[in-house]
């Protein structure tokens, strides 16, 4: 299924002498949507660079992916690529290539976080643990993803600079970020098998987990509770992890 695009152009404002005046440079927003279906047990995977990733449960059997671009650069400077494959779908925010020897590859993975993620003011060098990624040129465009998926599917969300949050109680979840927080909702009755790791932040959990390490030196938290076989795997380098309790259906 193809992406649908909605372009919204709005002007920024600046306070000057107590009054709001429009700036001459426009702030561009472009919204892109994808709808589709994959068989139960398969994977919905989002790979972002600059921006947040939010996943929510859907009551329908259809997947919905919304990508909102914000910034003053031409929105075509960041493409949204959707790869449909036998294991599900992989969606990537694709910035321009910086190195012809390492072009960006929006490749389906089998899980895992970042093997390499380094950035400067102008470039990012990204490799995922199971392949994919590349060297890209950065600009001022930010992409925020909102994903809605049925209970029968699995989810992986990754971003380099931004927050990953999941608001689902039954799906298997992986959430990985380099510079940002990770927030995961869980139910005490449904439960989960949890593994959470942060290099420089802390772990806040409303569930009894075993916690090893200390803030600033690396923290690893793990545990299993409830009746389900749900798997939750979260990791951030320079961010905090929040594992929240939800007692009602989302």
Q: Are 164 and 158 in contact (CB under 8 A)?
A: yes
* Statement: the pTM of the whole predicted model exceeds 0.75: yes
Give yes or no for residue 11 having a pLDDT over 60. no
Q: What is the dihedral of CA 246, 40, 224, 164, to 10 degrees?
A: -60
From residue 10, give the alpha-carbon distance in Å to each of 21, 25, 52, 72: 13, 10, 21, 10
Least confident residue range of 7-16, 180-189, 206-215: 7-16
Give residue-wise pLDDT tens across range 20-52. Answer: 334 344 466 899 999 999 999 999 999 999 999
Gap between the terminal Cα atoms of the chain: 27
The strand order across the sheet containing 63-71 reads 4-16, 19-36, 63-71, 142-149, 53-57, 164-167, 182-186, 241-245, 203-205
Beta strands in 103-188 (DSSP E): 114-119, 123-128, 133-137, 142-149, 154-161, 164-167, 173-179, 182-186
* Predicted pLDDT at 214: 82
Query: For the chain, what is the total number of helices (H) and then of strands (E)?
Result: 0, 21
Half-sphere exposure of 39 (CA within 13 A, CB side): 3
* Predicted pLDDT at 1: 57
Is beta strand 63-71 parallel, antiparallel or unpaired with respect to 19-36? Answer: antiparallel
Cα 199 to Cα 214: distance, rounded to the nearest angstrom: 9
Give yes or no for residue 88 having a pLDDT over 50. yes
What value does the mean pLDDT take over residues 196-218?
92
* Predicted pLDDT at 21: 39
pLDDT band of 18, cuts 50, 70, 90: very low
Cα 210 to Cα 223: distance, rounded to the nearest angstrom: 6
* Predicted pLDDT at 189: 87
* Predicted pLDDT at 215: 77
Q: Which residue has the higher pLDDT, 250 or 168?
A: 168
What value does the mean pLDDT take over residues 197-216?
92
CA 199 to the chain's CA centroid = 18
Percentage of the chain modeled with pLDDT above 90: 78
* Predicted pLDDT at 194: 97
Give residue-wise pLDDT tens across range 153-166. Answer: 999 999 999 999 99
* Predicted pLDDT at 127: 95
Give residue-wise pLDDT tens across range 103-132. Answer: 999 999 989 999 989 999 899 999 999 889
What value does the mean pLDDT take over residues 89-113?
95
């Amino acid at each position: 299924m193809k992406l649908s695009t909605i372009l919204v152009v709005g002007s920024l404002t600046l306070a000057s002498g107590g009054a709001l005046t429009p700036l001459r440079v426009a702030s561009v927003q472009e919204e892109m949507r994808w709808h589709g279906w994959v068989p139960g047990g398969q994977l919905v995977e989002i790979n972002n660079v600059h921006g947040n990733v939010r996943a929510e449960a859907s009551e329908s059997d259809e997947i919905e992916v919304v990508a909102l671009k914000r910034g003053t650069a031409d929105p075509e400077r960041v493409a949204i690529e959707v790869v449909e494959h036998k294991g599900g779908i992989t969606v990537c925010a694709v910035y321009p290539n910086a190195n012809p020897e390492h072009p960006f590859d929006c490749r389906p993975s089998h899980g895992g976080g970042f093997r390499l993620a380094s950035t400067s003011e102008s470039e990012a060098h990204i490799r995922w643990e199971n392949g994919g990624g590349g060297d890209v040129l950065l600009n001022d465009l930010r992409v925020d993803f909102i994903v809605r998926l049925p209970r029968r599917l699995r989810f992986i969300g990754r971003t380099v600079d931004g927050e990953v949050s999941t608001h689902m109680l039954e799906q298997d979840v992986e959430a990985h970020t380099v510079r940002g927080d990770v927030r995961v909702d869980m139910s005490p009755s449904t439960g989960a098998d949890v593994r959470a790791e942060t290099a420089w932040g802390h772990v806040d959990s409303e569930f009894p987990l075993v916690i090893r390490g200390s803030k600033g030196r690396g923290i690893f938290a793990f545990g299993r509770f409830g009746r389900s076989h749900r798997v939750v795997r979260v990791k951030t380098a320079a961010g905090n992890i929040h594992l929240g309790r939800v007692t009602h259906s989302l």
